[in-house]
Structure 1
């Protein structure tokens, strides 16, 4: 009972923080995402033993450069500064490769690849929450990210409990079913449609965005589980009582955020 209450309380606090920062937007949301991006990146680097090593420090610097670039480009979204953002990624890549060659053979290729991937996987992906919020209809669109990730997860769990028979990924996640996955996508689409009706927004587009986002969400969740399984860890961290680390709670959001941003720009503008 105590563990359930702890999990519930920490979950409520987390949701309140996300709601407040996404509602307010601007610099507050940017700082919040920078903070959890750094923590999540550190959790990921810890898996590969580089959280306090030169490749990790190069990665943290890369995150700072990327997030500053995102903040500068926020007036028109990433598309307004595409070349500049690619330049930042190229500089970060060269920085990490410089660490590799000038300290060779101190770090293996897996650690170096993890240093760069950790930037893209955590802070770069999370930054699309900010980018979505900064769109013209951002206050309305940003919630789709969480409908697709956490809403899909809830619908998938309930559908799987009631109808689940065929395993989705039996080795990786034995409890997940194909029926649950389909239910999660359908549930997310339904949430999107209902939300669109309430907000007098295009129903079909919102439902489609949420359905595609839900597929991305489930792949993101399984991918995070695969990394943990391969490296023999249960949780990425212990920051959030009852939930684990940032990556344990945001594993699906990380993949969903850029998908929602891209689809929102393409279908809604």
Structure 2
């Protein structure tokens, strides 16, 4: 437990530096994390004897990241199309090593991991000219939304854990994640809604919209966690990796973010809160 706490404190401090710095530093960190998550994804499915397209996946995720870094949605679509086509071609050209199921799992993984980290990079660069004044200083809009993304996602996990530990009686998905409870899930919904609404007040953003974002964020964070749990149960592994002492792998730590990052990006894009 001590190792987990120390690692968590160091991780939060490092995340704060990366988020506040932004720019190429933030984008580079996102690419590194995406690649590490992909390596773990490949390793997990290898436990079931699957031979995913390791190198093509690294290149595909890199292309998706670069398109996001350049804020080019046309390039993003081109990167995805190219990556999927090459992966499927490998099932023909390297059929002794890459089966069609390996290719399909690879294509799914490239999208599953590549898109969210690209969305994070694009979100961090959103409306850099818009400054939000807070009691502790000013934040550019993209920086504030990244904080909302991460604090909201962390809040979902935290409220679910403590509410479930104190009040949990009914299992949520016992065949997938035996420790999750309905009470913990409800605690996550209420707590995350309140936490993101409070962040809206802190950043002087519309509180009603932030409360809606918090509610949906808690839903998708839970689903993201369960999706990784399904994959790990399928492969028969406890953690996706051990790169983070006491916390497992990068995929373990970002499983919910993989679902909430696209949510926050499109919420900003379509709800238009930057203009309020």
Q: Normalising to structure 2: TM-score of the pair?
A: 0.89
The 5-angstrom pairing of residues 47-86 of structure 1 reads: 47-49=44-46, 55-73=53-71, 81-86=72-77
CA distance in 2, matches of 1:237, 1:189: 31
> Is contact 2:164–2:181 with CA below 8 Å preserved after alignment?
yes
Partner residue, 1:78: none
Partner residue, 2:16: 19
> Is contact 2:112–2:258 with CA below 8 Å preserved after alignment?
yes
Is 1:46 aligned to residue 43 of structure 2? yes
SS of corresponding position for 2:255? helix
CA distance in 2, matches of 1:123, 1:246: 14
Partner residue, 2:108: 117
Partner residue, 1:159: 163
SS of corresponding position for 2:180? strand
Q: Structure 1 residue runs of 4+, over 3 Å off?
A: none
The 5-angstrom pairing of residues 96-115 of structure 1 reads: 96-115=87-106
Partner residue, 1:266: 270
SS of corresponding position for 1:171? coil
SS of corresponding position for 2:243? coil
The alignment yields a C-alpha RMSD, in angstroms, of 1.9
Unaligned runs of 5+ in 1: 74-80
SS of corresponding position for 2:70? helix
> Is contact 2:123–2:145 with CA below 8 Å preserved after alignment?
yes
CA distance in 2, matches of 1:48, 1:231: 6
Shift of 1:123: 2.8
Partner residue, 1:33: 30
Shift of 1:83: 2.7
Is 1:252 aligned to residue 256 of structure 2? yes
Unaligned runs of 5+ in 2: 128-140
> Is contact 1:155–1:180 with CA below 8 Å preserved after alignment?
yes
SS of corresponding position for 1:209? helix
CA deviations 1:39-92 (Å, max 9, x no partner) are 110000112239xx782111111112111111111xxxxxxx333211111111
Q: How many residues align?
A: 259
Partner residue, 1:193: 197
